[in-house]
Amino acid sequence: MTDTSATQIAQTLVLPYLNHAVRMYEQKYASRGDIDAAMQFGCGYPRGPLTTLDELGLGVVRDQLAARFAETGDNLHKPADLLEALVAEGRTGKGSGRGFYTYADGEVAVDDETPSAHDKPELQHTIASVGVVGTGTMAAGIIQVFAQSGYDVVFVGRGDDKVAGVIAGITKALDKSIERGKLDEGGKSAVLDRLIGSTEREALGDVDIVVEAIAEDLDLKLQLFRDLDRICKPGAILATTTSSLPITQLADATTRPESVIGMHFFNPAPVMKLVEVVTTALTGEDVDETTRTLCSSVGKVAVSCSDRSGFIVNALLFPYLNDACTLAESGVDLTVIDDAIKAEAGFPMGPFQLLDVVGNDVSLAIQQELFAEFKEPGFAPAASLEKVVADGHLGRKTKKGFHDYS
């Protein structure tokens, strides 16, 4: 690539991401609002991709993508059919009053995808107590979120030391909240009093929902779901925080597949607002509605999607990060790319800064899953991403990734 201006770098990386979001909506995988909310609250972007398209102008983006497609022949650059159709209808975005959304006086005027109250199933579940399996960073964050929102939480770890570690970690977090004036000692005591730690899964027998947050290992999770199916009371919801494994397989390991759902929290759970609520073909509508209502009750933004690799956020985020690796391989400096994306797109981190925070090994694994699921040649993991992982440069956790933190 000859032009390495900040604008050109941003276009090179952001245009395919926007196109991918259009295709996701076109396939009815998720609603407009949920696609936009997922990227805002899951990645900290200033606005979602479909709102961005409306602001940039659909015709402008279509023409830029068409020029890229003519140059590269890459299907990821071919303007999505829906983008072409909207432009042909004159729905070119905010400037024309209609694009992905309808506008009046520059503001979104109509959201015709919001279900009416009559469309929502009646809640069959009341959530009073929550179970969590796991004691890692994600599990501890989820335990804290529920306890701070007034729920009694039974959590299970592999040993007394792990259980004690969770309570110590939450205590430390609550002490910081007290220092910042956001909590008092009474509030801290109330949160800690709601925690019941155990090393036995049988302690989960009476909870209304169990959220599983153990290692991303399918065999371990399958065994856990068989156990939960045996232990948990009839009607209890079984949720998984997996970001990458097929939830349908976990459901199939139980005698209650209608009660199995994904609740993909983002790390750190007490801070990040987003939860992807993931249904399988067998998840009950009332289970879905109860889970989304539960998310709202703990101050989270729930977005809905079905059981597919990457869900919304990872499916849109990681191909963009992979494209950044490919761009760097063409000779563009990493820091130049990072700075261009922050300045031009308004993203909170550059792609290489983010890869190093996520972990390059985790990033490579997700990209491999997306490539395997979608069979899109442009999703093949970039050689430079494979190399940093092979070299053991996994990011901040090893003090070296794409950038050096030593």
Enumerate the active-site residues. 243, 264, 276, 314
Element (H, E) at 103: strand 102-104
Whole-angstrom CA distances from 98 to 50, 174, 208, 360 are 12, 46, 44, 40
Contact 54, 357 (CB under 8 A): no
- Encoded amino acid at 347, one letter: F
Whole-angstrom CA distances from 219 to 214, 225, 265, 282 are 11, 10, 21, 21
Partners of 279 in beta bridges: 306
Helix/strand/coil percentages in the chain, nearest 5: 55, 15, 35
Contact 171, 192 (CB under 8 A): yes
CA neighbor of 290 nearest in space, from 122, 118, 113: 122
Give the tokens for residue 187: 């509030």
CA neighbor of 211 nearest in space, from 270, 138, 160: 138
Contact 157, 168 (CB under 8 A): no
Burial class (CB in 10 A: 0-12, 13-18, 19+), 104: exposed
Give the tokens for residue 4: 């390495």
